[in-house]
Every structure is written in structure tokens, then in C-alpha cells.
Amino acid sequence: MRSQTLWEARKYEEAFGKAISLQERPGFHLSPRTGWMNDPNGFSWHDGKYHMFYQYHPYDSHWGPMHWGHAVSTDLLHWEYLPAALAPDEIYDRDGCFSGSAITLPDGRQLLMYTGVVKERQANGGYNEVQAQCLAVGDGVDYVKYDKNPVLDEKDIPEGGSRFDFRDPKMWREEDGTYRCIIGNRPADGSGQILLFESPDGYAWHYKKVLAANHNRFGKMWECPDFFPLDGKWVLLTSPQDMLPSGFEYHNGNGTLCLIGAYDREAEEFTEETDQSIDYGIDFYAPQTVLTPDGRRVMIGWMQNWDTCNHRRTHDEAWFGQMSLPRELSIKNGRLYQTPVRELEEMRRDRVSYQGVTVSGTIRLEGVRGRRVDMEVTVRPEEGCDLYRKFAIRLAQNDLYHTSLSFRPGESVLKVDRKFSGSRRAIIHQRRSKVNHRGGELKLRIILDRFSVEAFVNDGEQVLSAVLYTDQEADGISFLADGTVNIDVVKYDLV
């Protein structure tokens, strides 16, 4: 039986999505068809295309009852909208279809696993969300919810685990044909844990063990987990709520955490070795990865932060929220490295190059401007001069506006600052990150799209992401030095 709720959402998004012109959207970052977007869901390769589902409220550009939006791509940069895949239309998910994942079954169909939410009245008169895991199966466009949903609920949670914080399943298929999934949960200590479940067929699931426990080290509840092998190690990604800063790590409150370690597949034991933030900028949360057909591990996150959702273009915009640039992942020297997906290079046009430019004060370079830009900058001290005190790049700039990336080698600190980007709200507009440099030499690759900047440091050792809602006419780029620096710049337009 066709769902009236889903039919109405599809009808609405088709009509109102058409009203948003391509120029009003990011050029190569996925945004919602209409309305609100948050976490990426079901990021997968299926039937010759990349599929990205997303947390979606089509009727408003603010958070609301969660649906699953749906888009497909062949290159991870140009997306085609498909009809909404899921709507909150069953007794077990009537208050929302929360985050989850997707895999292709041996029979060629696509299986979705998501968290169904039901609000329950509590003794104090308030409401809590009871969360359980549900399935839907389909052909890549239309999906039918499983008649035995939910497949995992409170009876499948280990003792002390909360049924109100039990969400975001990430599935995979093992080499022997069986299935595993991990799910975020809140244990009795009030922090977070990642639970491991297994299934012979993708439909009948049972609890296996706690794969990783927070013990109140990194924030509280751990959301949106992902788990995969990479360069001889295993990587657990998760998004903890309510993190406390540790030096220059974990400044985002609702932040991101990468744990790198070893995984004994026989015992299904994960041993942590190192931890780090995933993104050091202002806007990044809830990433998911996919294994590409050519064997790359690619990650996309929600390029937004729960604490900055009031940072908007206007009060009545037709869409809100966008995904990050797809990033190829690798491990070097025990760290997670991220580089822009190589498909981006196909979009490069009109190369402009400068080598060995001396900067003292402020300069502009002919041909270096734009709001859809891929720019590589290397900064180093000028030979024969003292170490410079500060170097900065101003982007999306005119007489009124700019956003800056500034580096102080004496402190080894790189800062993104968008307080002059056109915001009328005193929310989070700066983030500092400790970066590595060699005697003041630093390498940056800066990707600008219409509504964002992402800065990749030292060939992907760190990334800082931020959304920008500056008028598109502000397309200037300038370089500033307190002291004297020598820079190389290679800039492309992205078309």
C-alpha cells in the first residue's frame, strides 16, 4: 500500500524544488531538494551510481519530522535528486525516520536500515524519544518497509543502555556473506558506546557486544558511527555530543572523533591506538563513508554544526544545510588524512600561477578571485628576513565583507574567521587549529563554493570547514603579511 505521507512529501518536494534555481544552490556540494537537511544517510554505491540519502524536512528550512531525502551521482560532485525515500508513516517511526545506512543485497535490491522514533509521554509530563532500528528494501528509487519492523529495539540493548539514545545503524557485509552493524547508544554512565550486532541475512539481527566504550572521555552520547579498514588499520568515526576541548582538539561541542586502531576480526575486538578530531573548522558533523568501485574510502559529512544553525542567508530561505566536499581518506604517521576527491580536478579551468611572490602588507594578484575556486598556496619566510608574525588570506571579499584564514608560525596556529562574512548574529565565527609547519612553511589547498570554504592543510593532514553566506558579488581574494613572506599560488576556477 502506498504511503500517503510519503506521496505528499514527494509531491511537495517536486513542486517546490523546481522553484530553487541552480544559482541559489552550492555548485558542487549536495543541498536538500527543498527545506532542511542534516546528517548524510545510506551513503553507498548501488547499481552503477553513488546514492546519498539525508535527514530531511521538506516542508520547512528548519528541523522537523525527519524523512529521508535521496540523490544520486556518478562523480560525487554533481547530484541528481530522486524522490524522497522514507517518510514517518508507520506506528514504529511516526515521529521520525532518523539516520542509518544502505547496502546492496545479493539479489540486487538495496536494503536501508534506519532508526524509527516514537515520542513517549514520561511521568513528569515531558516526552522522550524511544528509538528502534527498522528496515526498508527497494530498487534504488522506491522502498517498502519491512513487515517485521522494528528489527532491533530495547530488548536487544545490553543492560543499562538507554532506549532513548539508540540510533544511527551503519551496516556492512562480511566476506562470509553475513552482516554486521554498529549502533550508537548511551550506557548507564551517561556517556556513549558503540554496539555491534550481527545478522545471517540482513533481516534478522541480534546483539553481539560493545565494540567501543566512551567512559566519559570524549563528550557524552556517541552518534552516527562508521567503522572500516584503511591502510592496514581500522577506523572508528563517531560524532560525540557535548565534548570538552582538549588543547586544540574537540572544540566543537557537538564534535567529531576519529579513533584509529587494530581490529581482531575473529574475536571482533577493536583496540584504540590514537584519537583526533575529523575536522578542525566550524561546520562539520555526522560523516559517513563509502568504498568506491576503485577501492577508495570516501567520506562526506554534514557541513553544519548544531550550534550554528541560526547562521543563515535569510529568515525565509527555501533550503538549509549542505554536505561537505567528498574526501578521500588515508592514514599516514598514525593520522587520518583527507584530500578532496580526485574527481574535483576534472572541474578545474583557467589556471593562474604565481611563484615566489614577496608579500609585506596586503597584495592582490591579477586573475586570483572567485567564489568557485580551487587554490593551492604555499607560504614560507622570505629568505634573509626574520620569521614573519602572521600571514592571512582573505576570501569572499569586497569593501564590506571577507572571511580570513590566518596563520601565526610562532604559535603554530591556523585560524578561520568569518565574523565579517555578512552574519548579523554573534554566533560561532572563529576556530583555531594547531598545525605543523617547517620553519614557517605551510601548505594550504582552499576549496571555495558559493556558500562554503574548506581548507586542507599540508596535503590533508587537517581540514577546516565553514559555511559562508556572503553576497556572491564579494569574490575578491587578497594576501596579507605582518612581516615578509614568500608565496606560491596556483588557482583554478571550478566549472
SS (H, E, C) 372-389: CEEEEEEEEECCCCCCCC
**What backbone torsions phi and psi does residue 15 show, to the nearest 5 degrees?**
-70, -50
The average pLDDT across 251-271 equals 94
pLDDT value of residue 424: 85
For 24, list phi and psi in degrees, rounded to 5.
Answer: -85, -5
Among 388, 441, 396, 387, which residue's Cα sits nearest to residue 416?
Answer: 396
Instruction: Give the number of residues written for the chain.
Output: 495
Q: Radius of gyration (Cα) for the chain, nearest Å? A: 23
Instruction: Please determine, for residue 435, whether its predicted confidence score (pLDDT) is greater than 80.
Output: yes
**What pLDDT does residue 1 have?**
54
Please report, rounded to a whole number, the percentage of residues in the chain having pLDDT higher than 90. Answer: 93
Residue 355 φ/ψ, nearest 5 degrees: -125, 135
Please, what is the average pLDDT of the chain? 96
Q: What is the grid cell recorded at 147?
A: 513487515
Write the CA distances from 40 to 208, 324, 331, 344, 349, integer angstroms: 26, 10, 23, 20, 29
477, 490 Cβ separation under 8 angstroms: no
For residue 8, give the H/E element and its range. helix 4-17
Dump the DSSP string for 62-115. S--S-EEEEEEESSSSS-EEEEEEE-S-STTTTT-EEEEEEEE-TTS-EEEEEE
For residue 183, report the phi and psi dihedrals to the nearest 5 degrees: -140, 140
Q: What pTM does this model have?
A: 0.97
Dihedral of CA 347/351/357/359: which sign?
negative
Terminal-to-terminal C-alpha distance of the chain: 44
Predicted pLDDT of residue 210 = 97
Is the distance from CB of 429 to CB of 418 less than 8 angstroms?
A: yes
Would you list the domain boundaries of the chain? 4-340, 345-494
Is the pLDDT at 131 greater than 80? The verdict is: yes
Pairing of strands 319-320, 35-46: parallel
Per-residue pLDDT reduced to its tens digit, 228-243: 999 999 999 999 999 9
> Positive or negative, the Cα torsion across 171, 119, 301, 25?
positive
Local structure of 223: helix, strand or coil: strand
d(CA 136, CA 461) in angstroms, rounded, equals 38
Question: Which pairs from 196-200 meet CB under 8 Å and 24+ separation?
Answer: 196/268, 197/152, 197/156, 197/169
Question: Is 449 tagged catalytic?
Answer: no
337-393 per-position pLDDT tens digit: 999 999 999 999 999 999 999 999 999 999 999 999 999 999 999 999 999 999 999
pLDDT in tens, 276-316: 999 999 999 999 999 999 999 999 999 999 988 888 887 78
| Residue 294: Cβ within 10 Å count | 6
**Given 39, 226, 279, 493, which residue is catalytic?**
39
Residue identified by cell 528496515 is 135
Architecture of domain 4-340: 5 Propeller (2.115)
Over range 182-203, report the average pLDDT.
97
What digits encode the pLDDT tens for the residues 305-325?
A: 998 888 888 778 999 999 999
Position 378 scores a pLDDT of 98
Residue 9: pLDDT over 70: yes
* Closest by Cα among 408, 400, 397, 344 to 370: 397
The Cα–Cα gap between 118 and 493 comes to 47
Check whether 251 has a pLDDT greater than 90. no
The residue-averaged pLDDT of 148-159 equals: 97
Fold adopted by 345-494: Jelly Rolls (2.60.120)
**Cβ-contact 453, 446 below 8 angstroms:** yes
How many CA atoms, within 13 angstroms, populate the side-chain half-sphere of residue 2?
7
What one-character DSSP code corresponds to residue 188? T
Placement of cell 617547517 in the chain: 438
